[in-house]
Amino acid sequence: MSLKEEKIWLSSPHIGDTEQYYVKEAFDTNWVAPLGPNVNEFENSIQQYINNNVHVAALSSGTAAIHLALQILGVSLGDEVLCQSFTFSASANPIIYLGATPVFIDSEEDTWNISPILLREAIEDRILKGKKPKAIVAVHLYGMPYKVREINEVAKEFNIPIVEDSAEALGSSFYGVKCGSFGDIGIFSFNGNKIITTSGGGALITKKSNIKEKAVFLATQARDNEPHYEHSSIGFNYRMSNILAGIGRGQMQVLDSRVASRRANYQFYYENLQKFSEIEFLDEPENYFSNRWLSCILTPSFEIREKIRLALLKVNIESRPLWKPMHLQPIFINNPSYTNGTSNTLFERGLCLPSGSNLTKKDLARVVSVIKKQIK
């Protein structure tokens, strides 16, 4: 009987009314290429959404955007890059692509993101050990802004640039300013499970027009300005296609309503579950605005977390433990890390609940009733 229950996904694509129009237009005008009017218009719409001081380069993925961001900020062979440990592996992998070493920093409890205290400790210790870190990768995880002021302050003091991984935070803001515009370079992802999607895609955000130009240059095979193909640097094939940018144009039109739906999901879970002492939520600190990309709960123990996760699975509801910190991943186990136990605890006790903007009240009620049964 449980197999007949309709599947509830963790976070599935939610297409609006105009995506197919822009995609069809691209076909009708034969702009089936990694450039074209949809790419420009998609970039413009992101720029207008974030604020008019930023420049946007649409790319093939968020991972590609992080890779280009780090390279443009000068990260190269043998460097060290400080990276939030509590994140998805794509925050850290591009550091390795460049032949550099990720040094992982644990989280603080107010936002679950990179701890300013540990960040400072790590910088001072790395300098003592003989190497000043080349960049910082800070992440607004699950859409919750990191402590922008404290992190910027430390970065500024030591003059280290920040890559702001906003892959999960399109639509979030800090003191009324949209995430994506706080780092030296920001990035977004439009993968299938993100708050809006192009099926796969990303963007690089910068306040400097020359950085955008550099990103587009590198993303299109680093072709010098000659009639023949001339190359004086190594390039990548990282530009977004005009077809996918058409999906993105349509998705930008519904972004605010997607944020509202995700926040309403969180509110529903909160109102129905926060009265139980076993379930904790992450509140927004004052003047922090999270898009609530995924609604997360904290349980008292790994055992209770698993009991809830498996009970949901049994009735065809997808949930997922919080991200496993990078400093605990087999591939990074020997990397330097500065830890305080926070991300470890979050990983053991935390669960992401179904959070798609296309969930119905009935879906949400089904999730809540399964959880309630497990904690009673």
Interaction of residue 291 with ligand PLP, rule CB under 6 A:
no
DSSP 3-state of 354: coil
Cβ-closest residue to ligand PLP?
62
Is the Cβ of residue 203 or residue 371 nearer to ligand PLP in the bound state? 203
| Cα–Cα distance, 244 to 129 (Å, whole number) | 46
Q: Does the protein bind ligand PLP through residue 183 (CB under 6 A)?
A: no
Q: Segment near ligand PLP (CB under 6 A), from 11-19, 22-30, 59-67, 154-162?
A: 59-67
Mark residues 246-275: x for contact with ligand PLP by CB under 6 A, - for none.
------------------------------
> What gap in Å lies between CA 65 and CA 84, rounded to an integer?
17
* Cβ–Cβ under 8 Å, residues 336 and 102: no
Query: Exactly one of 61, 85, 251, 319 binds ligand PLP (CB under 6 A); which one?
Result: 61
| Single residue of 38, 45, 63, 197 touching ligand PLP by CB under 6 A | 63
Q: What angle do CA 268, 304, 298 make, to 5 degrees?
A: 45
Answer yes or no whether residue 139 interacts with ligand PLP by CB under 6 A: yes
**Euclidean distance between CA atoms 195 and 180, whole angstroms:** 14
Which of residues 43 and 168 has its CB atom nearest to ligand PLP in the complex? Answer: 168
- Dihedral angle sign, alpha carbons of residues 47, 171, 168, 161: positive
Query: With respect to ligand PLP, which residue has the nearer C-beta, 144 or 371?
Result: 144
Contacting residue, 45, 107, 191, 251, with ligand PLP by CB under 6 A: 191
Q: Which of residues 74-103 bind ligand PLP (CB under 6 A)?
A: 87-88, 90-91
Task: Confirm or reject binding of residue 165 to ligand PLP (CB under 6 A).
Answer: yes
Q: Which residues of 351-376 are buried (b: 16+ CB within 10 A; e: fewer)?
A: bbbbbbbebeeebbebbbebbeeeee
- The half-sphere exposure of 207 on its side-chain side, counting CA atoms within 13 A, is 10
Q: Does 167 bind ligand PLP (CB under 6 A)?
A: yes
For ligand PLP, the binding residue among 43, 168, 184, 363 (CB under 6 A) is 168
Please identify, using beta-carbon distances, which residue of 204 and 367 lies nearer to ligand PLP. 204
SS3 state of residue 169: coil
Alpha carbons 240 and 256: distance in angstroms, whole number: 23
Which segments within the chain are labelled E, that is strand? 55-59, 80-84, 101-105, 135-139, 162-165, 173-174, 177-178, 185-189, 202-206, 288-289, 295-298, 320-321, 337-338, 350-353
Residue 80 in tokens: 């060290």
Least distance in angstroms from the C-beta of 289 to ligand PLP: 18
Least Å distance between CB 165 and ligand PLP?
Answer: 5
- Residues within the interface to ligand PLP (CB under 6 A): 61-63, 87-88, 90-91, 139, 165, 167-168, 189, 191, 202
